[in-house]
Each structure stands twice: as structure tokens, then as C-alpha cells.
A and B are shown apart, each in its own frame.
Chain A
Amino acid sequence: MKRAEALDILAAAKGEAVTVATMRAVADWHRTPAASERHLDAVGCMGAAAPLGLGLALAQPNRRVIVIDGDGSLLMQLGVLATISGAAPQNLYHVVLVNRVYETSGNQPIPGSERVDFPALARAAGYRSAQGLADAAVLAERLPGLLAQPGPTLIAIETDAEEAGTPGSAVSRPADAAGLLRAQLVGGSGAAAGA
């Protein structure tokens, strides 16, 4: 399925969750209304999305956190699967868009592109559940149920490799976005000194 189609389905199911998106998912996520509140772009630091989401999930245990990761990005910090398993946040949902290429740099295949099984990696690391989905209708049908059960859950969505392009750029400065999310979650302006 197309990445945008997958993200439309995810946006419809998001509810009140906090979201963290990275790389090529950023632009498509911002085309949905779901990115307008309680959202963070993880841009310029591949691999950061999942541990950022873990921190949010640990700080806000009563709120669902959805990470929208890429396969190449996850491979940058694959150890995070074990870290998330160890912390075991029941409110963390780790969506991985699996197109099996580094799209931003010209669609070079990721290492082991034909063989890497992301749900199997997550299950072996100790996620509570992990699913691989490739059909949009099946994703739309199953996603609400997956997001209703306790995490940590990995949802690997097989998407088409699309035209090579630049990484998604954040809609605001990273510092402003981080401060805004903090303000939305805990109050305050988010722009002033931190603690």
C-alpha cells in the first residue's frame, strides 16, 4: 500500500494518542489532521523516534503513544527493541513503515532487505505482540483492536517504495516543537526554561 494510505488509516484510529513521526512519514502525517496536536517530528536524527516515544510513554503512562518509524531508522538503533521490551510500557505502539529501502538517499536497499522480519525481531526481543500487515483493508480492520490492547506492540506495515526524495522536514523548529508538546502535555508555555 502507499505510505499515505497507511497513515490515513492510522490517523483515523489515533484518538487522543501522542504521536512521534520520523523521516518520509513526516510530510504525509502532516497532511492528516492527526498531526495538529500532541505530535513531535523526529527529524535529523535517524533512530531517535522509538526512544523518544519510549520516554513519552514512561512519563505519560495513562496516554497512548504511537511511534511512526521507518525500517531504515529502526535499524539505526535496533537495540531499542530490547530496551522497550525491558521497560514494558503498556501504552506504547510502535508502527514501522517497511518499504525496505532508504528512500531519501535514492532507494538503496536496507541491509538484508529481502529477509529482515521486523515482527519476528520484536517478538524475539520481548514485545507483548507484533504484527505484519500489507493490505490496507486488513490494516483498517485490525488497527483499532491492536491499539486497544496493552503494548508494547509493534505493527509493521509493508508499504511501496516511492519516488526518492528528501527527508520530511519538520513544520517548526525542533526546539519549538519539543516545547509545544511539553506544554500540551504538562502545561506552561513550553518556550521558557525547562524544569
Chain B
Amino acid sequence: MTNRALAESIPARQLHAAIEALGVTHVLTVPDTHQKSLLASLRNDRDIELVTLSTEDEAICVNAGLWMGGAQPLVLIQNVGLFAAMNSLRGVAIDMAVPTCLLTGQYARDVTRPAAENRASAVRLIEGVMASMDVPTFAVDRPADVPLLAKGFAASRERRGPVVVLVGAPTA
């Protein structure tokens, strides 16, 4: 029996193009191992400012300040960092009602299993924890799912709050 992959690598250029199409002005990152090819691609983009931060808490707060100042930011982190940023997610993104789209790599995911059945707790628990905070999640598990990024970004604006877009496999 072969283990069929439930999540496939997405070309960095495809995600990069989707980010450009959203009119994103700043990408705020604590670099994600899972999305390193996307980060490398964004590093060469002269129209999008890539800002590296010390913590994911900061990323959520800087996102809020940018939004209040009229910019269109996107947060790019990994699942373990999202767990580290719970207080800012609650106290800033939720309480201040700030559109916050978090493109989040599913670091350490075993792609032969559904995320909810992974041994890695960061993968297995993230969707349930977000649901408990009333934060919607979108799973981008293959190239055909990339339009879900735009859907998630729009949802963060419409509901004025955080939305998590999970990237299931390392970007290519």
C-alpha cells in the first residue's frame, strides 16, 4: 500500500502572484521553514515590503498598526508561531477588530495523514484551537487551492478580524 500525499507542494511563484493580486503592501514574517521558497521570492519583490520580526506577537501588532495607517499587510508565519502569538491574536486582532490574514505553514506535517490525525501537535491542534477562538481557517493543500488565500484575505476584511490560511506542504 502506498501513502498518497494529502497535501502537495505549491510553487512559490503561484503563491507570490496570489499575494500580489491582493494588493498587499507589506508581508510581515517570522521566517517559516515551510515557506522558505516563497520568502525568497518575496525578498526580490520591489513592490512589497518584507519585514522580518522577532516574534509572531509583534507581527500581529505591526499588522494592526499598518492597517490603521492605511496599508494592506499580510502575516506569513508557521503554526508553532501562531501558538506563540495567542495573546496578540486575542488582545489586538480580535479585540481591536483588525483585519489580520495569517498565511501559516503547517510545519512538521505528515502529508500522508489528515492534519487532524498528525502526530505533531502543532499540526493536529491548530484548526481546533482556532475554532475555539472563532477564527476561521482555510486549508491550502495543493495548487488548485491557492484561490482560498484570496478568499481568506477577503474574509479577514469583511469580518474585521483574524483569518488563518494554512499551507499544508512545503512550498516549491
Contacts and interface: CB of A to CB of B under 8 A. Distances in A.
A72 interface: no
Interface stretch (A25-33, A104-112, A136-144, A171-179): A171-179
A132 B31 CA distance: 34
Interface string B93-116: 001111100000000000000000
Given A52-B65, A58-B69, A80-B54, A45 B160 contact: no
Interface residues on A, range: 35 or more
Interface stretch (A94-102, A116-124, A155-163, A180-188): A180-188
Interface residues on B, range: 35 or more
A193 B70 contact: no
Given A55-B69, A174-B95, A195-B72, A87 B57 contact: no
A182 B90 CA distance: 20
Given A58-B26, A185-B69, A186-B70, A48 B54 contact: no
B163 to A, nearest CB: 11
A6 interface: no
B96 A83 contact: no
Contacts of A178: 64, 68, 96-98
Contacts of A182: 67-70
A194 interface: yes
Given A77-B55, A175-B97, A195-B99, A48 B61 contact: yes
Given A178-B97, A178-B98, A58 B66 contact: yes
A14 to B, nearest CB: 17
A175 B70 contact: no
B92 A60 contact: no
B18 to A, nearest CB: 16
B65 A53 contact: yes
22 contacts: A45-B88, A48-B92, A51-B62, A51-B65, A54-B65, A55-B61, A57-B65, A59-B66, A60-B70, A77-B57, A83-B52, A83-B58, A87-B51, A175-B95, A177-B96, A178-B97, A182-B67, A185-B69, A185-B70, A186-B69, A193-B157, A194-B156
Interface of B: 26, 49, 51-55, 57-59, 61-73, 87-88, 90-92, 95-99, 156-160
